[in-house]
Amino acid sequence: MLFEILHRLGSKADRLMMYTASMHPDAASPTKESQLLLKAEREYNVKLMPIEVQHRGQGDLLSLDSDSTVLQHMDELFLLPPAPVAMPRAYWLDKPYLSSQLVLIQPSAEEFKLVKDSIDGAVSGDFDMAIVNNLYGKDCMIIPHRPYDLLTGEFRSQGKQETYLGKSFEQWDPEKVFKEAKFLHFSDCSVPKPWITTPESTRNDNQPNARLIQRGRRIAVREIFGLDSILIFRRGGRIYVDSHPSD
């Protein structure tokens, strides 16, 4: 899904798929994995790279969390000054913490060994976010979370969006925020991920308010964020915004 979106948005950066070496992108293979790898390569100009050992020869890599979607290309991140890693802050947490949902990586054998050793030594409950914070929490280039790391839960967080906005005086404008966002992470504890079948009652109970008055305009938040983000996901990231919905 992410490769299709990047292809459609006209991203100029190379697209790289790292996959387990046991998978074989063979046209004669009937497996789903093989067909999906070939589809990515043929239709979206994706470079395929089987993973067995640390590979060399790659420039900076932008790692995107799989339970997310791209709203605009982010090629400009590859123009940042050199650094081992760059990440946005996890703005929704009370303590200073980095978000691993989007990570710009400068590959090197030294950093690979550092990360691998940390993974090998991890204990139960140590997820990727904890590992990268243990390694880089005090020494990391920061990517601004706005507009590069927006959570879907912000659209139901009534009156609590100051941490995302970064300005206490700025009024929450869901249409503006959605249009400027470049990367959207499906993260809402009350609603399952959009590819998981969800009872209609659950979706209805957790919809944002149908109408918000912003600067004299009537904005349909449900139209902006459409049906718990299902429209965004199932339509391949296409955005439909109606600033003047009918009653």
Q: Where are the domains of the chain?
A: 1-52, 55-247
Minimal CA–CA distance to 150: which of 41, 43, 234, 69?
69
Assigned fold of 55-247: Spore Coat Polysaccharide Biosynthesis Protein SpsA; Chain A (3.90.550)
- Measured CA to CA, the distance from residue 27 to residue 22 in angstroms comes to 15
- Measured CA to CA, the distance from residue 68 to residue 151 in angstroms comes to 9
> What is the tens place of the pLDDT at every residue in 51-107?
765 555 567 889 998 888 888 999 999 999 999 999 999 999 988 899 999 999 998
Beta bridge partners of 220: 211
Q: Return the pLDDT at 213.
A: 38
137: tokens are: 């929490």
> What is the tens place of the pLDDT at every residue in 111-161?
888 888 998 888 877 788 899 999 999 889 999 999 999 998 887 776 678
229 Cβ partners below 8 Å, 6+ apart?
A: 152, 184, 186, 194
What is the rounded average pLDDT for all residues in the chain? 77
